[in-house]
């Protein structure tokens, strides 16, 4: 997982996964896996999956990079605290899942909560094939 700044402003965690590095074969399968991980976390709440690719393609002025084949956002919230009303501006959270010509890209913005960053990193790393005996039923054969 790489840490980078997008547009010199937004701190992101980004992970590229080759098709040969995962048993997941689609953006939908990855989104289903992330949905399960979110539902299993004691502090996280699943909200929705947004098909960013379909939305952008429907717009007359919509532009999608030719390397992007599919792109969805898994939207959820870690509801540990509401320290002030302004914090709502940076919530809820989203994990981007894109299929590219090279494989898959998972991305999410860094949070000020270590527990959230750790959970999202763990979920992303769980997409990589650890060995041939991976018991996750959401993964394709």
What angle, 0 to 180 degrees and rounded to 10, lies between the N-to-C axes of helices 27-40 and 114-125?
140
Per-residue pLDDT of 73-131, as tens digits, reads 999 999 888 999 998 998 999 999 999 999 999 999 999 889 999 999 999 999 998 75
For range 13-40, the mean pLDDT = 97
**Is pLDDT above 70 for 140?**
no
- pLDDT given at position 90: 87
In the chain, the domains with their CATH numbers are 25-125 (3.30.310.70)
- pLDDT given at position 131: 59
**Rounded to two decimals, what is the model's pTM?**
0.88
Contact 38, 71 (CB under 8 A): no
- What would the 3-class secondary structure string for the chain be? CEEEEECCCEEEEEEEEEHHHCCCCCHHHHHHHHHHHHHHCCCEEEEEEEEHHHHHHHCCCCCCCCCEEEEEEEEEEECCCCCCHHHHHHCCEEEEEEEECCEEEEEEECCCCHHHHHHHHHHHHCCCCCCCCCCCCCCCC
Interatomic CA distance for residues 80 and 83, integer angstroms: 10
Buried b (16+ CB within 10 A) or exposed e, 27-43: bebbbbbbbebbeebee
Interatomic CA distance for residues 54 and 68, integer angstroms: 12
């Amino acid at each position: 997982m790489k840490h980078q700044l997008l547009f010199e402003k937004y701190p992101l965690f980004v992970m590229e996964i080759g098709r040969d590095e995962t048993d997941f074969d689609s953006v939908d399968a990855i989104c289903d896996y992330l949905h399960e991980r979110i539902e299993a976390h004691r502090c996280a709440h699943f909200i929705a999956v947004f098909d960013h690719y379909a939305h952008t393609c429907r717009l007359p002025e919509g532009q999608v990079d030719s390397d992007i084949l599919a792109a969805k956002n898994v939207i959820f919230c870690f509801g540990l605290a509401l320290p002030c009303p302004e914090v709502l501006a940076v919530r809820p959270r989203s994990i981007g899942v894109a299929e590219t010509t090279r494989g898959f890209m998972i991305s999410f913005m860094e949070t000020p909560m270590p527990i959230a960053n750790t959970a999202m990193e763990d979920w992303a790393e769980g997409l990589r094939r650890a060995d041939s005996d991976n018991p996750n039923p959401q993964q394709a054969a």
